[in-house]
Structure 1
Amino acid sequence: MDEERERYVKVRSNCDYYVSKVTISADPILNAKDCIVLVMYKGFCRLAFIRISKDKSWTYTDERYCQPVQDVIYSGDKFYAVSTRGELLSFDITPESYSDVKLAARRIRPVEMSYQKFYIVHSNEKDLLMDQRYMSFELEPQSRRTTKVLVFRFDFDKSKWIKKLGDVSLFMGDNSSESVLASSNSGCLPNCIYFTHDYDSVFSYQGVPHGDFGVYNHEYQSFIPIDTTHVATLVRNTGRGRPIWVIPTLKL
């Protein structure tokens, strides 16, 4: 490990206040009394929350009962998180702690040797999806490549995962993951995942090209060739910032 990367990893791992993601339970302006702000922080992401109309300080997870997580979302009346092992956790916010953390679903399959990253996203008001992203790395030259993406829909009635996507386009990334109905959005391909180059614990530090982005067809388990020239230019222009997905609401 070179000195620059070692310094980067050390700072990120030891910083208690490094926030990687924030999610809320309600609109903080229209419904402040029900708004809970939940953050993922620290190197191996932990959780902390604050109820903006009730609390004056943050409440932190008890690390004995809540394992490190990679993504979190609010759905229905609960928060859901996916752990670094691919397990789905559900919990309510209580005045004291996350004492009611529950295992909503076990990991789908044994973790493979390749590097994996998990994301969770709404596909509509009722459905919850988990994306399982596999990546490989090359040391000379330093590069990262997504090799496949698996998507599973959570069956709340049976508390199990179902491998299904359908007429949905997923947009996957660190800061936010989004989904849209492909048939209602011109230009979006059904059964496809659009992904960006986001953080990883191996190569995400200054000086490494951010070139791991593309489109993956979930039905045929293959990548769709795209012209990345313009996209690569945009990614380089963002510097060290992570790209995000935005769903426009303005209708022309």
Structure 2
Amino acid sequence: MAQPPNSKRRSLPLLDWRSGLPEDLLECIGQRLASGHDTASFRSACSPWRVAVPFATFGLLLLLPFDPDSDRVGFYCVSEKKGLSKTLPDVRGKVACGSSCGWLALMDEASSVMLLNPFAGARAPHVELPPAGEHVAAASSSERVSRVNGRWVLHPTNGYGDADTAGRAIKLEDMRDVFFREIVLLVPPDAAGRECVAMAMLGCSTEVAFCRVGVDSAWTLLDTKLEFSVGSIVHYQDKFLAIDCTGEISVYSSNAAGATPTATLLPSLSPPAGLCHHSYLESNGGLHIVGAMVSTFHETQSFTYSNAIYNCNLHDRTPEWSRVRDIGDQTLFVSKHFNESLSGTSVSKYKENKIYMSEPLYGDPYDLVYRLEIVHIATGASKVKPIQEKMLGSEALSWIRPNLWKL
């Protein structure tokens, strides 16, 4: 009897294509993994894949302050217990105004803004954002701001409400107070097929600024409906949250592609009583707030504090904060200088059910050493760990998860 024409092909042994890929191709694929979760899945396929992508290179790093007169940026790797630095010419003459999705937001004295990916190859790719205009300055500062001979000038008012006509030039270190305090991304600019959008917290305002990267030529100001100035912007389940200094929350969402986001106020949700130094982040689909419960002793003029974490689901009919004692195998990374905080499965010597804080909540800013505060979530107890020498009076900027995608 004649065999079917494809029977011979079916009898051939199946090739193990996982171990048959060239090493350089595996490394090329590994460099395009955008998150620790993707990296863990890649490494779990087989031994050659695990060797091709060392997981330590994808661990979270602590972004350190940099000198705008230099092109060197420092990082600290907690898992490897060592610092590292990169030469990034684009940071010269700029101040950091955000760290989000593995990208840095940078602004110069002319209020030009760019996103820089410090980890995607030898020549760090960057994306231009619309510059901050006078409408942003007017919403961000109570003083009048104008542009004179290419420089931004602040015209402070006297006791009678009259503005100084000459004014003073706004220096680089003051740009965040006058324009963008922090820029947060909902989606990184290198995610294929998804529109990258950015929202900016202003110096002191109940408004925020919004733009679609590569689409809009100017920032759009949005009303938050909040009573007090915005203190945090958080990306939460493909939405932006604007949170004021009292803890009231506005949720931004758009109902159609390209539509301007609109705010929905959640006036009934207030932070837990007595919780200070609020930091917000999304983890496992819930919104978390991290802070310190402070006890003061007037007799001795001293205080003590214990750290606490609370969680809520904003989709509940009446959302409320509940104390969290266990987050399983997760680790939280909370930034003090910028609001960007992250979570992830415990890997590479990071301990589970812990919070790694970029700076102690009540640390001395003039300490000569950078210090982490590591919090045990179950008990709220913490320990402070020195890591390396620092620039006088500076704080670590943010945790940052390397994003290895190239444009």
Whether the TM-score (by the shorter chain) exceeds 0.5 is yes
Partner of 1:215: 374
Q: Check 1:40–1:196 CA distance in 2 against 1; reply closer, same or farther (3 A cut).
A: same
Q: Check 1:214–1:111 CA distance in 2 against 1; reply closer, same or farther (3 A cut).
A: closer
Partner of 1:163: 323
1:179 partnered with 2:343: yes
Q: Check 1:199–1:46 CA distance in 2 against 1; reply closer, same or farther (3 A cut).
A: farther
TM-score normalised according to structure 1 size: 0.67
Partner of 1:188: 350
Structure with higher RCO (Cα < 8 A, 6+ apart): 2
* Aligned residues of 2:187 and 2:196 also touching (Cα < 8 A): yes
Q: Check 1:149–1:100 CA distance in 2 against 1; reply closer, same or farther (3 A cut).
A: same
Q: 2:197 aligns with which of 36, 40, 50?
A: 36
Aligned equivalents of 1:12, 1:146: Cα separation in 2: 33
- The higher radius of gyration belongs to 2
* Aligned residues of 2:204 and 2:229 also touching (Cα < 8 A): no
Aligned Cα root-mean-square deviation (Å): 4.0
| Structure 2 unaligned regions, length at least 5 | 1-172, 297-302
Q: Check 1:14–1:171 CA distance in 2 against 1; reply closer, same or farther (3 A cut).
A: closer
Matched to 1:240, the amino acid is S
**Structure 2 SS opposite 1:215:** strand
Q: Within 5 A, what are the aligned runs for 1:25-174?
A: 25-31=186-192, 34-43=195-204, 47-62=208-223, 65=226, 67-92=228-253, 99-103=262-266, 106-111=269-274, 116-124=276-284, 126-133=285-292, 147-158=305-316, 159-164=319-324, 165-167=326-328, 168-173=330-335, 174=337
Aligned equivalents of 2:229, 2:369: Cα separation in 1: 25
Partner of 2:400: 246
**Structure 2 SS opposite 1:61:** strand
Aligned equivalents of 1:93, 1:37: Cα separation in 2: 13
Aligned equivalents of 1:110, 1:215: Cα separation in 2: 23
Q: Check 1:118–1:212 CA distance in 2 against 1; reply closer, same or farther (3 A cut).
A: farther
**Structure 2 SS opposite 1:213:** strand
TM-score normalised according to structure 2 size: 0.44
| Structure 1 unaligned regions, length at least 5 | 1-10, 138-144
